Structure 1
């Protein structure tokens, strides 16, 4: 499956549990919504990723991707140390100039 460069970079960073590289895929003013919480900017996104790496040890297997301009929807099988693993989860991204500006995980 051919993934946009920023999404491929995000998944590669997650595979290595590299929260710094993960957060660098986002714009400075990016917003992430996950599990009812909102994270603003690279610092909070890095901290959120560090926390989820420790807590869940998540791995992503991309199943489907749809791209409409700067909007990307990734469907992935996510496994880790969480109840219900593995789960099929949709990631709704908005991008600008090769960076993620918005991510909503449902």
Structure 2
């Protein structure tokens, strides 16, 4: 599967529980939406993913990617220490200048 570099980097960072590398995949003004919450800016995104990593120990296995206009949608099997693991989630990315501007996680 041919993932855009920044998405491949994000998957690697997630699977290594590297919250700084994860946050560095985003623009300084990026917005991430997950579990009904909005996280704005790299610092908030780093704090969010660090907390999620401690809580869920989630790893991602990319299954497919589709491009819908300016949005890339990654389907990934996510497994960890949460109820219903593993599950398939969709990660909707808008990429700007090689970095993620928005991320929305849906089921």
- TM-score, with length taken from structure 2: 0.96
Q: Distance in 1 between matches of 2:7 and 2:68?
A: 14
Q: Distance in 2 between matches of 1:9 and 1:79?
A: 18
Q: Which residue of 2 aligns with 1:103?
A: 103
5+ residue gaps in structure 2? none
* Residues 20-31 of structure 1 mapped to structure 2, 5 A cutoff: 20-31=20-31
* Residues 26-65 of structure 1 mapped to structure 2, 5 A cutoff: 26-65=26-65
Q: Which residue of 2 aligns with 1:82?
A: 82
CA offsets per residue over residues 61-103 of structure 1, 9 Å max, x none? 1111012453100000000000000001111110100000001
Q: Distance in 2 between matches of 1:90 and 1:38?
A: 16
- TM-score, with length taken from structure 1: 0.97
Task: Report the aligned-residue RMSD.
Answer: 0.8
Q: Which residue of 2 aligns with 1:8?
A: 8
Task: Spell out structure 1 runs of 4+ moving beyond 6 A.
Answer: none
Q: How many residues get paired?
A: 106
5+ residue gaps in structure 1? none
Q: Distance in 1 between matches of 2:93 and 2:34?
A: 12
